[in-house]
Structure 1
Amino acid sequence: MKIIAIEEHVLPDAVKQAWNTVPGADDGTLALNAGELGERLANLAEQRLALMDETGVAMQVLSLTTPGLNNLGHHGIDLARRVNDLLAETVAANPSRFQALAVLPLADGENAARELRRGIEELGCKGAILYGRVGDKNLDHAIFEPTFACAAELGIPLLIHPQIPRASVRDAYYAGFSAPIDLALSTFGLGWHYEAGIQFVRIVLAGVFDRHPNLQVILGHWGELVMFYLERLAMLDRVSKLRRPFVDYVRNNLYLTASGMFSSAYLRQAIEAVGPERILFSTDYPYQYRPGGDARRFLETLQLNDDDKRKFAHANWERLTRGGAL
């Protein structure tokens, strides 16, 4: 059974250079991409394909790693075009092994929407990746509305990827240990996941899905903690004045992906929350790469019927990106 992994990352040299040189671009996470991880992020050919074969992934959907271009201001406009062109060239060189999510210059709302349209209509990207807030502007800010409107019109999904919390939040909740522990706690240990989950909750409460009822978004890491608090989030219905109950937006506008967290318990909870038609496979390459046929083994040992395994492995993604979202 083929596996399409939909959250698999790259880091071109041009982006790395911008993060290192544009004032304010370094959000503290550059160290997470050093050494072997950096080499794997940069490689778009033989090494990546070999590790895909080893773990059992037939196709990767490529996307720029966090924090994307969010901290680059106007520098991100040209860089988005260059990165998306590179992704399109990579897909064209291996169309049976790669697809791509467009990266957007989200600090400029109108340019972000234009680049999204170009990425989909001219370059063949399957969707786009967001990284939550830009500066102090959360995803419910008006600057993002052109992107949401364009994505809804085009019928393509948006992946909300984590980024590190803002400095004031890090200082309040994630600091006070050693520098490595502070960084880990504020990113992959916990902070990333609250950050991304809260962004989804905010766009629900802001009525984004009421304005764009067909818009589809994806959360990684089995829902970025949102699924664990659905019972409490449902209580927002008392005050939200939305057109539908909160849980309805989860079940009709949200897809969940594994991000390399190969837990059958989390998968069961995801299915309980959104159904087997709204779960997607991903390995979070290269961050969660583990040797030994890890992806294939996880799929094969799941206590799911063959049809639900097929949906999880590839069919849900294929339906979603062909305009057939449930």
Structure 2
Amino acid sequence: MKIIGLEEHFVTRGVVDAWCALEPEWQDLSLTPSTRGDSARRLADFGDERLAAMAKAGLDVQVLSLSTPGVQNLIPADAVALQTATNDTLAEAIRARPDRFQGLATLATPRPAAAAAELERAVTELGLNGAMLFGRTRDRNMDEPEFWPIYEAAAALKAPLHLHPQSPPAAVRGAYYSGYGPRVDAALATHGIGWHYDSGVQVLRLILSGVFDRFPDLQVIVGHWGEMVLFYLDRIDSLNELAELRRPVSDYFRTNIFLAPSGILSRRYLRWATEVAGVDRILFSTDYPFVAPPPGGARAFLAEAGLSDADRLKIASGNWDRLCASIRR
């Protein structure tokens, strides 16, 4: 059983330098774990340590992507320069180990036209399998019309976009995630729950904006079992008529959105995702290096999940292979 992980991260020195040079207002809370300690070292490595971690977890292939918040908080000129450099670095790492690595492109969303053009280059020239996006570009949500050229390009290429969490805006952190001390505040605003509410809202904004009605071929990957939204779709469907959508919100989760665990190896969440969206909409991911599965965790999770052999293979790699096969190179 080949297992492919869809949310496996890296950083480059150039991106780290650009993050550190940002005004504090635009520095993401992930800056510290991405630039210090063991996680920073692992993010920068494409060699033995990463391969050893994959073997330990039972993962055969990593689909590499730049860690949060990508280049989306940078000034436009820096973002454009770094998207090219980062994607070239990623393509080089994949060429060195094509049996172990695939990739999702970095996009300079501060300049949407340049991002759309880079997505086409990344897919058709570099061989990448889509792109990683984050829910906001500084203070602008990614459903705003200025960003729709990116979705148009992705739909035309049939290249999936992975929508990844980023830290909630400072005002939201102050209102909802503060008061317990710096460490607890930061954890509550990120991996505790803040990341997932923030990203879930961005998924809903994409649907409610009509992006999928305008680009029905667009496919978006959402980690952490749907970023909270999956568990409230019966309630959320009350927005359908108000938003004048062509279909119920829940329907887009069965036609335009793929789900992945992002290292949350929960059989309960898997059963719920399968029931709500269907096994054909589920991918696999470990969220390297921020989540450390137990030895053999990826393989054991799928083997012990109560799935048929056919469904197990779909989640392990078959659904991703099918999605990549449809990309227009």
1:105 aligned to 97, 104, 108, which one? 108
Contact 1:156 1:216 in 2 (8 A): yes
In 2 relative to 1, CA 38–29 (structure 1 residues): closer, same or farther, beyond 3 Å? same
Q: 1:193 aligns with which of 169, 186, 196?
A: 196
Deviations 1:17-43 (A, max 9, x none): 110113354223211222111111110
The amino acid that maps onto 1:268 is R
Give the AA of the match of 1:264: R
| Alpha carbons 1:108, 1:143 under 8 Å: kept | no
SS at match of 1:60: strand
Work out whether 1:297 is the aligned partner of 2:300: yes
Aligned length: 325
Aligned ranges 1:1-326 → 2 under 5 Å: 1-23=1-23, 24-33=25-34, 34-74=36-76, 75-323=78-326
* Deviation of 1:290 (Å): 3.0
Unaligned stretches of 5+ in structure 2? none
Q: Which segment is superposed worse, 25-34 or 176-185?
A: 25-34
Tell whether the 8 Å contact from 1:7 to 1:259 is kept in structure 2 after alignment: yes
TM-score (norm 2): 0.97
C-alpha contact 1:18 1:25 (8 A) present in aligned 2: no
* Range 291-300 or range 162-171, more displaced: 291-300
Partner SS, residue 280 of structure 1:
coil
SS of 2:325's equivalent in the other structure is: coil
Q: Say which SS state the counterpart of residue 172 (structure 1) adopts.
A: helix
CA deviation string 1:88-107 (max 9, x = no partner): 00000000100000010011
State the one-letter code of the partner of 1:14.
Answer: G
TM-score, length of structure 1 as denominator length: 0.97
Give the AA of the match of 1:49: L
For residues 140 and 37 of structure 1, the distance between their equivalents in structure 2, rounded to whole angstroms, comes to 31
Instruction: Tell whether the 8 Å contact from 2:29 to 2:190 is kept in structure 1 after alignment.
Output: no
SS in 1 for 2:7: strand
**8 A Cα contact 2:10 2:44, kept in partner:** yes
Please say which of residues 7-16 and 236-245 is displaced more in the overlay.
236-245
Q: Is the 8 A contact 2:162 2:220 kept in 1?
A: yes
Gaps of 5+ in 1: none
Aligned residues: CA RMSD: 1.2
Structure 1: distance between partners of 2:180 and 2:252: 38
Q: Would you say the 8 A contact 1:61–1:100 is kept in 2?
A: yes
Taking the aligned partners of 1:291 and 1:238, their CA distance within structure 2 comes to 45
Q: Distance in 2 between matches of 1:210 and 1:290?
A: 38
Do the aligned partners of 1:217 and 1:253 also contact (CA within 8 Å) in 2?
Answer: yes
For residues 285 and 226 of structure 1, the distance between their equivalents in structure 2, rounded to whole angstroms, comes to 23
| Contact residue 263 and residue 293 of structure 2 kept, 8 A | no
